[in-house]
Structure 1
Amino acid sequence: MQTVEETVDVAVPVHTAYDQWTQFESFPQFMSGVKSVTQLTDTTNHWVTKVGGVEREFDTEIVDQEPDDRIAWRSTDGKSHAGIIRFTPLDANHTKVKVHFEWAPETLTEKAGAALKVDELQVKADMRKFKDFIESRGTETGAWRGEVEDSGPTGQI
């Protein structure tokens, strides 16, 4: 199991950073490994990713969500993938965004990439891109302020 964690401080209020993160279909604009995200329902998404030359498709469900605090997810289709993102206000106009996720590399290429820390470097770069994206806009592209009660374990996150 691979674990990746990254933190970035963004110069926007917590509600702006959080609201933008709920706009999953915008992820390809700042996540280089994400080709597309299709929101199927308020709590389920279909992902197409390409990391280290390996394309994956999988579905995720939001299992715990509290506005301006956290969003936790896990895969629903048998592939091991789970994570949580937390939003902590630093002051009225600055927010700490911390992502933690776990996934199981399947192919030899994915395992080699994990050993070389390719996934960690990509998450670090993507979090910087999120910072640039939200700070350059100054506002979110949309918002979903719903809550999801924790529906069970999401791994060791």
Structure 2
Amino acid sequence: MSTLEEHVDVGVPIDTAWESLHRVENYPRFVDGLRDARTEAGGRAHLGVEAGGRAREIEAEVSDRGGERVMEWRTTGEPELKGSFSLQSIDRDHTRVQARLAYDPGAVRETFGGPRGFAQASAIERLVRSDLEHFKEYVEQGS
């Protein structure tokens, strides 16, 4: 498994950022390649993903450590992905959002295609960084 960690500082209080992370249905507004997303019963989420020219439906389990401001998730099928979002208050009006992603590059490459495509570590790093920047824009605009 490869692990990637990225963070972004956002200009909103920690409660605002935390609430925005829990609106799964709005993820397509800031996550590249996500066509649709919805929460389901039992802490599950359904995601319609398009990456590397391939469309896939992915199911994930989501759990919170609310007191610690950590949201953890993992896919329930292929590709096996798991990660977390951790929030830290910088001051009253600023929050650091830390994203962590663990993945098997080979499994991601098989699912989304291309020997030099989506599964390259540098491509995944750019994608996560871009998604965090889009989240920053999304949350700071009060969407």
TM-score by length of 1: 0.78
Higher helix proportion: 2
CA drift of 1:68 comes to 6.3
Give distance in 2, aligned partners of 1:25 and 1:68. Answer: 23
Gap change, CA 1:17 and 1:68, over 3 Å in 2: farther
Pair 1:61-2:65 in alignment:
no
Return closer, same or farther for 1:111/1:31 CA change in 2, 3 Å cut-off: same
| Residue identity in the other structure for 2:125 | E
| 1:108-127 to 2 correspondences below 5 Å | 109=113, 111-113=115-117, 114-115=119-120, 117-127=122-132
- Give the C-alpha shift of residue 48 in structure 1: 1.2
Please give the alpha-carbon distance, in whole angstroms, between the structure 2 residues aligned to 1:18 and 1:42: 19
**CA RMSD of superposed structures (Å):** 2.0
Rounded to whole Å, the distance in 2 between the matches of 1:97 and 1:58 is 24
Alignment of 1:88-103 (within 5 A): 88-103=88-103
Among 117, 121, 132, the residue aligned to 2:137: 132
Q: How many residue pairs are counted as aligned between the two chains?
A: 138
Alignment of 1:5-154 (within 5 A): 5-41=5-41, 43-67=43-67, 69-104=69-104, 105-107=108-110, 109=113, 111-113=115-117, 114-115=119-120, 117-137=122-142
> Shift of the alpha carbon at 1:4?
2.6
Q: Which has the higher contact order (CA 8 A, sep 6+)?
A: 1
Is residue 5–residue 99 contact of structure 1 (8 Å, CA) maintained in 2? yes
**Where does residue 145 of structure 1 map in the other structure?**
none
Deviation at 1:54, TM superposition (A): 2.9
Q: Residue 117 of structure 1 aligns to a residue in which SS?
A: helix
> CA deviation digits over 1:7-54, x for unaligned, max 9?
000000000001000001100011112111121125100111122323
Alpha-carbon spacing, 1:80–1:44, altered in 2? closer, same or farther (3 Å): same
Identity of aligned residues (%): 28
Structure 1 unaligned regions, length at least 5: 142-157
Stretches of structure 2 lacking an aligned partner (at least 5 in a row): none
Q: Distance in 1 between matches of 2:137 and 2:12?
A: 11
